[in-house]
Amino acid sequence: MSFFISIISPHSSPINAQFYVMLVACVFCITLCYLLMTNRMLQSFNLRGLLGMLFGFGGLVALGAIILTFFHAQNITPVSFEKSQISFASETIPFKDVRRHYVKPLIQQSRYSAQISTDTSMVYVIETADKSVHLFSNSYYDMLEMQQIFAKELGNQK
């Protein structure tokens, strides 16, 4: 029987307004492609086939973005700290297997000058004894809360 000490839920999801706009764009583009390629729309327009292929390509790109966003959203799950392990997605890591854990800034440099940083995001890194690395982004999780709980639980294990 496992006792939950704390559960950290993600505060946002990749399935947001942009996902739904891509869904509408996909349906719109594929519908227009079908109407243009089957001569149901703009019968006398000379570039009807080219326009139909352009909308079909746009619909496929939107469909690809929808599928990849959906699969990415499946990995953003709550992180549960139990008595002797941490669980997330389909992974379970015992606290005794954790080698290191820390918060690391990821600095994105400008393309034009190395001295200018354009964006900084923080990730929580968990390194295990088998040399696997698990990252949790500050876009989805609260880094400070995760670090405090993790440090407290590893302190209790020793």
Confidence of residue 23 (pLDDT cuts 50, 70, 90): very high
Instruction: Dump pLDDT digits (tens) for 88-116.
Output: 888 888 888 888 888 888 877 777 776 76
Does the pLDDT value for residue 155 go beyond 80? no
| pLDDT per position as a tens digit, 53-97 | 999 999 999 999 999 999 988 888 888 888 888 888 888 888 888
Nearest Cα to Cα of residue 141 among 88, 63, 91: 88
For the chain, which residues make up each domain, given as ranges?
17-74, 80-157
Q: What are phi and psi of 127, to 5 degrees?
A: -105, 130
Number of H helices, E strands in the chain: 3, 7
On the question of pLDDT at 3 being above 70, the answer is: no
Record the tokens describing residue 108, joined without a space: 């994105």
Q: Which residues pair with 133 in a beta bridge?
A: 127
Give Cβ neighbours of residue 44 (< 8 Å, ≥ 6 apart).
Answer: none
Per-residue confidence (pLDDT) for residue 112, from 0 to 100 = 77
Residue pair 114/131 in contact (Cβ under 8 Å)? The answer is no
Q: Is the pLDDT at 134 greater than 60, yes or no?
A: yes
